Amino acid sequence: AALWASIGVWVYRTTGRIAWVGLASRQFIREGHASPDLKRLLEKACRPRADEINEVARSLGSLADTVAQRDAERDAYEATLRESEAKVLEITSVLADGVYVLNREGLVTFANLETERLLGWTAAELLGRNGHDTFHYKRPDGTPISSESCPVHQTIHTGQSYRSPDDWLVRKDGGILPVSIVSSPILRDGVVTGSVAAFHDITP
């Protein structure tokens, strides 16, 4: 009877520990991070003497800690990125030059206030649009210009900077704006990921 009682207690405790690990596992899957409740469940599942349940509980705890560290690093990176973006917006908002950024596909990802004023587009209207097809698709005489023959657009493909004291951009109303312009590639780890262009109104 004593033996069966001991076995019964062992089974009861072991089943409870397995249940706590299962609850912790489901909670981790559902929430995706290490909460205080998850830690308490894993502590309940562990015993001073090492066994398989301890190993599983500690492995899950280690995984949760790793995810928590990764999340903290990601949050810190995103906070730094937001701060950097705020500084860029602050600086470019007071520039006398228009500034716009294109991604690898040639789509506008940023336009400052001077770009809005000079071209007549709002930044919200420009974002996600193809820069060449929107404001550099024709010459001053009205003849079309392809993106392949446009040195401003080709900066994102050649990785070569382009500088011209006598160029043009097309305003929202279709009018031509004479500009001096500099377009430079954006490099990340040696790979061109886009370009940034700065232009100045040279209307006589």
Structure tokens that stand for 36 in this block: 């205080």
Is the pLDDT confidence value at 94 over 70? no
Q: How far is CA 2 from the centre of its chain?
A: 64
How far apart, in whole angstroms, are the C-alpha atoms of residue 136 and residue 156? Answer: 15
| pLDDT, mean of residues 58-63 | 72
- The single residue listed with the structure tokens 């193809």 is 130
**Is the model more confident about 121 or about 4?**
121
Looking from the CA of 35 toward its CB, the CA atoms found within 13 Å total 13
Q: Which residues of 29-68 are buried (b: 16+ CB within 10 A; e: fewer)?
A: eeeeebeeebeebbebbbeeeeeebbebbeebbeebeeee
| pLDDT, mean of residues 60-87 | 71
Contact predicate 61/39, CB 8 Å: yes
Angle between helices 36-45 and 52-92 (to 10 degrees): 160
How far apart, in whole angstroms, are the C-alpha atoms of residue 54 and residue 145? Answer: 69
How far apart, in whole angstroms, are the C-alpha atoms of residue 126 and residue 122? Answer: 6
- Report the pLDDT value the prediction gives residue 90, as an integer from 0 to 100: 58
Mean predicted lDDT score pLDDT of the chain? 81
Is the pLDDT confidence value at 63 over 50? yes
CB neighbour list of residue 201: distance below 8 Å, 6 or more residues apart: 98, 118, 177, 178, 179
Report pLDDT digits (tens) over 178-197.
999 999 999 988 899 999 99
- Identify any residues that bridge with 192 across adjacent strands, giving them in sequence order: 187
Is the pLDDT confidence value at 67 over 90? no
Single out the residue of 81, 127, 120, 82 nearest to residue 100, CA to CA. Answer: 127
Report pLDDT digits (tens) over 45-54.
776 666 777 7
- Report the pLDDT value the prediction gives residue 42, as an integer from 0 to 100: 72
Helix (H) or strand (E) holding 4: helix 2-31
Is the pLDDT confidence value at 125 over 50? yes
